[in-house]
Amino acid sequence: MRAVGIKDDFIKLGQLLKLADMVSSGVEAKQVITDGQVLVNGEVEIRRGKKIYPQDVVKFNGEEITVIEE
């Protein structure tokens, strides 16, 4: 598991996937999220705009990241 730092109180799920280089574009992020391929804290998340806060864990394509405050 690796950590990804954010400066704000939260980040939207689609933005986080791009920031963490888990996807190459917003379009790809939308597709993998709506297809149910992304887990947030162990549960499938299909909302691209889901707010992700520090300490949340996101898993996609065999890679797991945790969000931390910068």
Q: How far apart are CA 25 and CA 55, in angstroms?
A: 24
Contact 22, 61 (CB under 8 A): yes
pLDDT tens-place string over residues 39-64: 999 999 999 999 999 999 999 999 99
Percent of the chain whose predicted confidence (pLDDT) is above 70: 100
Domains of the chain: 2-69 (3.10.290.10)
Mean pLDDT over each residue of the chain, to the nearest integer: 97
Q: What is the pLDDT of residue 42?
A: 97
Q: What is the pLDDT of residue 26?
A: 94
Contact 43, 8 (CB under 8 A): no
Q: With cut-offs at 50, 70 and 90, classify the pLDDT of residue 10.
A: very high
Half-sphere exposure of 26 (CA within 13 A, CB side): 4
